[in-house]
Structure 1
Amino acid sequence: MHSSRPLHLARGGTSVIVDTSTAGLPSILYWGPALGECPAAELAALASASVPQRVSGSIDTPARLTLIPQESYGWQGTPGFTGQRGGGFLTPAFQVTNLTAGENELTITANDDDAGLALNVQLTLTEAGLLRQRLAVTNTGANEYEVRSLLAFFPLPDTAQEVLDHTGRHLRERAPQRHNLTTGSYHRESRRGRPGADATVLVAAGERAFGFERGRVHAVHTAWSGNHQYIVEQTPSGDRFLACGELLLPQEMSLAPGATYAAPDAFGSWGDGLNELASRFHTEFRGRPEHPGRPRPVTLNTWEAVYFDHNLPTLKALADRAARAGIERYVLDDGWFSGRRDDTAGLGDWFIDETVWPDGLSPLIDHVRSLGMEFGLWFEPEMVNPDSKLARDHPEWIIQTRGRLPVAARQQQVLNLAIPEAYDYVLTCIDDVLRTNDIAYIKWDHNRDLLEAADATSGAAVVHSNVVAVYRLMTELKERHPRLEIESCASGGARVDMGILRHTDRIWTSDCIDPIERLVNQKHTGLLVPPELMGMHVGGPRSHSTGRTHALSFRAATAIFGHFGVEWDISNLTAEELGRLGSWIDLHKRWRDVLHTGTTLHADLPDPSMDLRGVVARDKRSALYGYSLTGSSASYPPGRITFPGLDPTTTYSITPAAFDYEDQGQSGLAWVETARNGAPLAMSGRLLGALGVQAPVLFPEQSVLIEVRAQTPELDHTP
């Protein structure tokens, strides 16, 4: 028998109180800010005070929101676990058989011998203060059992009144949307075989009108790169919760006797404002052993410079200009492999095209390396063109239903990497290219959703098995090539999650690099992903995806905070233009350590046309902020901007770091003029956070950068 006393887990500024006396599985009574020391008697009183009343017209024993709520104990909301055996309806009634608790972890084993099922639940508070739930179910019966769903549940406080999640499309991922939390259930599902361009990176619920700096808010994320689901629900009895997990297709998770289904890790974060909530995810990423430890190389990708027009002289000249500007990594994009003259053929034939590269890639790679840059190469390992040798030789390796190919997308289909021979073929092809060339980086693309994702022979659903295969393929390539880094791209930002980022070193945030679109995209991708893992590039003056034209200062000031790079044909730039780009690259390098280790913050400004974001160093002695005007300001001049995240007791000087904008005939700003005269204004972090300074008058679609430095003599992260 296990103890039925309430348990208090505490770590990373977070407390979780678990009532182990509830029928079935334990129940989370509290999840939020650290509570400090909680005596056993006080915890017992809390558990007693949390028992709901029986009311008229209800079941005799009121149902509780447990870790895996079950209909067998009276729960009538979304169930935590569903499945069937032999086609019959089966509602398990799990009973706890073992419970092991520590200061920050709780492991629960529960069985239903009649149903032939064993459940394992692990709650962990990470060092970052995230609540991780790790769930698994084992078939202990004598015949096959089909798991239909296994979801992690996170309770919400009564103050949660408003929901935030994301939608989107290609070129506009992670567009925020909000609605009131009302009685009923709100479901977000991805059935695309990957998260998708319309996917949400998390679902958050908080106090009404919560923002980045204000309002208690909780959120959950599923660390999985395939089909998934998120649920926000309020029951008629007043229970509020977030739930998340993998979305399993019919017959996709049929367990043989003794087999186990381990659900993807589910993570929960909270904060007083979205800045604090996001910082817990960022801290979690940075604490992983696989997190990149060296400065993120400034990267040039050749796609928007040459597209499929590969020739050695052009690409060498582009490399020369890149090195002159300060680029540190040069990535050759799509078009280098056999038969790939456009996007209709060649995918799957991962052999260097001798008609384009008669001497192989070595002449270009050697030239790039001689200039002091790393070399990277584009692959799309999970895809195949029907017009390819691979498809002609092995049509049975293509995901399909009863010999019928799914509707094509970008003239391509999807390989079933769960087939061992297909997996080995792709692994061998990529390994051979890496082994025979000095390649430090793969841009790993994934340019279509999965439709009718079935095995060609058995007809079984294969989304889950292919996600697992991709993770294994990335792991094996990195084991064979220890210095290899991988970027996850999926039609831009259609595969952004903690699952893929366990195996990759950055994500391509969106195929759209228009700074207007990127300001929103990067802000909301950053609710989960720290900036050093987000590809942020400077494009050409005219955006290829929106047609808008912007000054270099606006494009660069938007991209500078992340893993900085260039997606632009710089071969035709004048010496002056290349020099200006080089100055932005130099500025990024000076601030790179702060930007990629500090705390990312966004200000809640009253005018939606005004955007202020920044990164404060870990010791809070320096910070870089970007202020942008995306449309005409409501007032003229636009009013004040404030600077969140500074130490309130420290005195800072505030100076313009990049103020390249058009003069509209206005007078100078006092704080800008004094800084330019060598005597920057000094203000406390408290005043800068509460009152700030007058924002400069900008035209719409302009940006400036502002640096803040502690005035005390101690050395810090200041670049």
Structure 2
Amino acid sequence: MTVFHLRAAGVSLVLDTRGTAASVLHWGSDLGEFAFSEDAFTPAVPPSSIDVPLRLSLLPSLAEGWSGRPAIETGHGFRTVETQVQDQILRIRSSSPDATQEVVTELELTTQGVLRVRHRFTNRGDDEFVLPNLDVLLPIPAEATELLDFTGLWSHERSPQRAPLRHGVWSRESRHGRPGHDDAFLMVAGTPGLGFRSGRVWAVHLAWSGDKRVWAERSALGYSVLGAGELLAPGEIRLAPGESYETPWLVAVFSDTGLDGLSDRLHPWIRSTSTLRKPRPVVLNTWEAVYFDHDLAVLNELADAAAEVGVERFVLDDGWFTGRRDDRRALGDWFVDDTVWPDGLHPLISRVHERGMEFGLWVEPEMISPDSVLAREHPDWILGGTIGPTWRWQRVLDVEKAYHYLLDRLTALLTEYPIAFLKWDHNRDLLTPGVAHRQTRALYRLLAALKEAFPHVEIESCASGGARIDLGILPLVDRFWTSDTNDPLDRQSIQRWTGLLIPPEYLGGHLGDGVAHVTGRTSALGFRLATALFGSAGIEWNLTGASPAEKADIAAWIAEHQRLRPLLHSGRVVRADSPDPAHLVHGVVAQDRSHAVYALVTLGTPAAALPPPIRFPGLDPDRLYTVRPIGVPPRTMQDAPPPWLAAGAVTLPGRVLSELGLPAPLLTPEQALLLELA
């Protein structure tokens, strides 16, 4: 058999193994059943080119006539020597001409239509081999001429950027030792004008938490590709005879229904592999409430206030360990500070448990303060030594060298204290060349060991906010801290785009103070509550200073979130394309389309006196839905509301609500109206 055709959920993958090297002929819309003709898909031979048809193989290189960015820079090509297929998985074994180098490529098409691809390179020679790079490339059709990827900075992650795909390479590289706040995140190529509900799109994500590169290339030779791989420093991967290197998974997704179609495949696939064991508890994190001012009486009062409004998990943030009174010292000394906590954390945990909440704790195991006992005892554990500047007054701990110390200290904490949750932070880039691969692998190993030893303990991936959100670390964690900003105006965009890849139940979104600690912007309570409703909800606010009315609204919000949580954390995420960028509509629709919750959000001043209607994507066109407002009513500026809203509810078919929509109330900027449909 020379041609393999895998199909799942409206997606086809066609692999051609004729000739010397296997190539992907098609990855995209379902082709149905057909009899493959070898000559039907062989391209012409253009003038001033190689004298045989150019085929883009799984390992394209100069040796086969490909002058674009190669998958591996070895100076020679690879030939296919064996192909295996089992269920929806293809394995292609390729060899160098002298048989000293072997690459096994694995392609899997999941039942949700998600394509995963990776290579495993093995040194079959007699000498050490230094691997320069090994990337995964996939072809995309000529119609995909618009690119969408992401950039950002601290507290402004996942900022979208668009550009045409012209001849040449658009490459995004991360040298942070983590994906970074400016992570490309998801590289999307599609038809011009692609939106949430329209366009044919192809997208790739590299499931890796270290340095990486992801790119799109349109070659004058006639091919366009999306590619990605670990960004290796010179000499970083040295393979002795018989040793292997395996690339991270490239996760590739096709949709013919716009960007929401990507989420329609990615979210169910991620959920199918999820290890989440219970509903996501509503969290109160102490950071913006008390910062480093750890006082048992104050924290007991905060715990009481949290329990009063219905919080389910109380998390003690930075400042609990020996000598940690500010951010300039003590990282690495993971012992409870007996001057602040003479009886350990037991009294606080007892109070938290008495009030019916779980207890969580902040840690930053991958970092070390120069002013710490650990640094003085083990200066050789500081990654890169003292070369280069500190960052947040800290340096990076070599996790590989300090592995057993970290495992022992974390084990001791989790054994002594009934801790249900670790907020695992990572507050700086590595800034040391040639170490990201082994540091990332050591981190994965440490997380896996802790999960095995303490399966009840959930872990949140936090990296000075959202600088490490990727599918490589996802199997080892239970939550992502989406961003360090709790400003709802910023969060609307950050959550909207992060949720393109990650299901909402993994994305921490917290209710902050009325004056945002990061931006200083003042926001209405209703806007803050509506913004934090849809993900893994929590609070980052000193509730002891909240008014009785505010506490009542927060308690009602938590009860509403708990009621809606089964829908919010299992349903289909939908986003409307709006002609006015000041208006957003997003929601979650139950898988059987019987129930839905939407938010109409005003980010700024609308473009017209009458805003566009509220259109509700994702509904069953033939089902009747009653639409009613929930939550804190937003502020409006109007002489009269739309009659349907004044009446408190309206019942209409899904087709009407999706296509015609409902007249929108005139919300003032930075407001949100929540609507429930059932």
Question: Structure 1-normalised TM-score?
Answer: 0.93
Q: AA paired with 2:30? A: A
- Aligned counterparts of 1:62 and 1:79: Cα–Cα separation in 2: 18
Alignment deviations for residues 594-650 of structure 1 (CA, whole Å, 9 cap, x no partner): 000000011001000001100001110000000111111111121311000111111
- Amino acid aligned to 1:18: L
CA distance in 2, matches of 1:267, 1:655: 39
**Residues 96-105 or 279-288, more deviating:** 96-105
Contact 1:652–1:708 under 8 Å retained in 2: yes
Is the Cα–Cα contact under 8 Å of residues 536 and 559 in structure 1 kept in the other structure? yes
Equivalent residues of 1:24, 1:73 under 8 A apart: no
Tell whether the 8 Å contact from 1:629 to 1:699 is kept in structure 2 after alignment. yes
Are the equivalent residues in 2 in contact too, given 1:9–1:102 (CA < 8 A)? Answer: no
Structure 1: distance between partners of 2:449 and 2:643: 58
How far the C-alpha of 1:25 sits from its partner, in A, is 2.2
User: Residues 363 and 602 from structure 1, CA distance in 2 versus in 1: closer, same or farther, beyond 3 angstroms?
Assistant: same
Of 643, 661, 672, which aligns to 1:692? 661
Q: Is the 8 A contact 2:579 2:612 kept in 1?
A: no
Partner of 1:424: 404
Q: Is the 8 A contact 2:602 2:667 kept in 1?
A: yes
CA distance in 1, matches of 2:58, 2:568: 38
Where structure 2 has 5 or more consecutive residues not aligned to the other structure, the ranges are: none
- What's 2:418 paired with? 438
Corresponding residue of 2:272 = 287
Tell me the equivalent position of 1:629: 602
Q: Which residue of 1 aligns with 2:7?
A: 10
Q: Which residue of 1 aligns with 2:144?
A: 160
Does 2:422 align with 1:414?
no
Deviation, structure 1 residue 293: 2.9
Alpha carbons of structure 1 residues 314 and 161: separation in structure 2 relative to 1, 3 Å: same
The structural deviation recorded for 1:664 is: 2.4
Kindly provide the amino acid, as one letter, of the partner of residue 659 in structure 2. Answer: A
The equivalences for 1:120-269 within 5 A come to 120-269=104-253
Pick from 515, 521, 544 the counterpart of residue 571 of structure 1: 544
Contact 2:149-2:184 at 8 Å conserved across structures: yes
> Aligned equivalents of 1:424 and 1:350: distance in 2?
13
Q: What does 1:660-699 correspond to in 2, within 5 Å?
A: 660-674=633-647, 676=648, 680-699=649-668
CA distance in 2, matches of 1:612, 1:34: 30
Paired residues for 1:21-170 under 5 Å? 21=18, 23-36=19-32, 38-39=33-34, 41=35, 43-44=36-37, 47-82=38-73, 90-114=74-98, 116-170=100-154
Contact 2:45 2:54 in 1 (8 A): no
* d(CA) in 1 for partners of 2:374, 2:635: 55
Q: Distance in 1 between matches of 2:97 and 2:60?
A: 18
Task: Indicate how the Cα distance of structure 1 residues 468 and 333 shifts in structure 2: closer, same or farther if over 3 A, else same.
Answer: same
Q: Which residue of 1 aligns with 2:455?
A: 482
Check conservation: 1:407, 1:451, Cα contact below 8 A. Answer: no
Q: How does 1:328-339 map to 2 (within 5 A)?
A: 328-339=312-323
- Cα offset, 1:153, TM superposition: 1.2
TM-superposed CA distance for 1:121, in Å, is 0.4
Q: Which residue of 2 aligns with 1:275?
A: 260
> In the TM superposition, what whole-angstrom CA distance separates every residue of 1:107-162 from its partner, at most 9, and x where no partner exists?
11111251610110011001221000021100000111111111111211221010
| Aligned residue type for 1:415 | L
Query: 1:667-702 CA deviation, whole Å, 9 max, x = no partner?
Result: 12122123x2xxx32211111111110111011001
Matched, 1:527 2:504: no
Q: Residue in 2 aligned with 1:449?
A: 429
Q: Deviation per CA, 1:242-301, whole angstroms, max 9, x where unpaired?
A: 00111011111111110000000111011121001122111111000x431311000000
Distance 2:21 2:359 in 1: 53
CA 1:315 to 1:117, structure 2 compared with 1: closer, same or farther past 3 Å? same
Alignment of 1:384-423 (within 5 A): 384-400=368-384, 404-419=386-401, 422-423=402-403
The answer to whether the 8 A contact 1:651-1:682 is kept is yes
Alignment-derived partner of residue 611 in structure 1:
584
Q: Is the CA contact 2:428–2:464 (under 8 Å) kept in the aligned structure 1? A: yes
SS in structure 2 at match of 1:667: coil
- SS of alignment partner, residue 149 of structure 1: coil
Q: How far apart, CA to CA, are the structure 1 residues paired with 2:415 and 2:9?
A: 42
TM-superposed CA distance for 1:102, in Å, is: 3.8
Distance in 2, matches of 1:124 and 1:663, equals 51
Structure 2: distance between partners of 1:426 and 1:533: 25
Q: Give the superposed CA RMSD.
A: 1.2
SS in structure 2 at match of 1:196 = coil
| Count of residue pairs the alignment pairs up | 677
CA distance in 2, matches of 1:574, 1:641: 33
AA partner of residue 322 (structure 1):
A
Amino acid at match of 2:538: G
TM-score, normalisation: structure 2: 0.98
Q: Which residue of structure 2 lines up, in the alignment, with residue 601 of structure 1?
A: 574
1:197–1:117 CA distance, 2 compared to 1 (3 A): same
Q: Output one character per residue of 1:4-25: Cα deviation in whole Å (capped at 9) or x when no partner.
A: 2x2110123321111111x432
Question: In the aligned structure 2, how far is the partner of 1:176 from the partner of 1:636?
Answer: 28
Determine the C-alpha separation between the residues in 2 that align with 1:569 and 1:671: 38
Displacement of 1:325 in angstroms is: 0.5
Q: Give, in whole Å, the separation in 2 of the partners of 1:479 and 1:291.
A: 12
* Sequence identity percentage: 46
Q: Is the 8 A contact 1:416 1:462 kept in 2?
A: no
1:482-561 aligned at under 5 Å gives the runs: 482-561=455-534
The CA deviation at 1:663 is 4.1
Q: Is the 8 A contact 2:77 2:97 kept in 1?
A: no
Please name the residue that 2:306 is paired with.
322
- The runs of 5 or more residues in structure 1 that have no matched partner are 83-89, 454-460, 710-719
Report the equivalent of 1:702.
671
Cα distance in 1 for partners of 2:632, 2:392 equals 42
1:200 Cα deviation after fit: 1.7
Report how far residue 52 of structure 1 moved: 1.8
Which residue identity lines up with residue 75 of structure 1 in the other structure? W
The one-letter code matched in structure 2 to 1:552 is L
Distance in 2 separating the partners of 1:482 and 1:353: 27
Alignment-derived partner of residue 86 in structure 1: none
